[in-house]
Amino acid sequence: MLEMEKNNLDNWFISRQGAFDTEEPRLGHQERFLEKLNTSKGVISLKKKRSSWWRPLSIAASILVLMTLGLGIFMMRPTLDKRVADISPEVSKSQIYFAGLIEEQINQLKSESTPATEKMIEDTLLQLQKLELNYGHLEQDLLNGGNSKLILSAMITNFQTRIDLLQDVLDQVETINNIKNNTNEDLTI
């Protein structure tokens, strides 16, 4: 008899193969089941359902804190110019003077640009960028503790080279423009 019941039970399972629910329950199934069970029995749950907004809010707050810390660290670090000024205040003063003079000459050069001088002016501005980049390397060398007298001398020479270059190009542009104007005057007479 036991053998027959076992065969019947096996046959029953075989005949219903594929009809059983073998899927895993969704996340939170147990909590929902217990909540429904407690509600049907009249038990009130003290555990409140969490809002779905807390997670994005906590992520945003974390990002804000990290950005604030990063900005604070960045702002606390003195700029390259300030660190150079701490090492040599004279460099800072001369840099302000020379930078103003160079900017004035660049503006004058750009204002006198003509099609005949445009290429020369572009080349000059490119050379000035290279000299400015070189100046930045000199500043970094000064901060890294190089020979300060030699580096300060090279920095001043860099400024002087930029000023001389601008003055030479301004003179050449003026000469080209004068020749062009004189040629145009001769043609109109």
Instruction: Parse the chain into domains and list their residue ranges.
Output: 80-181
Q: Which of 161, 150, 141, 159 is nearest to 84 (CA)?
A: 141
Segment-wise mean pLDDT, segments of 10 residues, the chain, 189 residues: 74 77 78 81 60 76 85 66 64 78 89 87 92 88 78 87 92 88 61
- Location of structure tokens 């053998």: 3
Are 139 and 84 in contact, with CB atoms under 8 Å apart? yes
**pLDDT reported for residue 85:** 62
Q: Which of 118, 109, 113 is nearest to 167 (CA)?
A: 109
**pLDDT reported for residue 133:** 93
**pLDDT reported for residue 185:** 58
pLDDT tens per residue, range 34-45: 888 777 777 665
Model's pTM, two decimal places? Answer: 0.52
**pLDDT reported for residue 45:** 57
**pLDDT reported for residue 70:** 78
3-state secondary structure of 44: coil
pLDDT tens per residue, range 45-54: 555 555 567 7
**pLDDT reported for residue 78:** 58
* Rounded (to 5) percent helix, strand, coil in the chain: 80, 0, 20
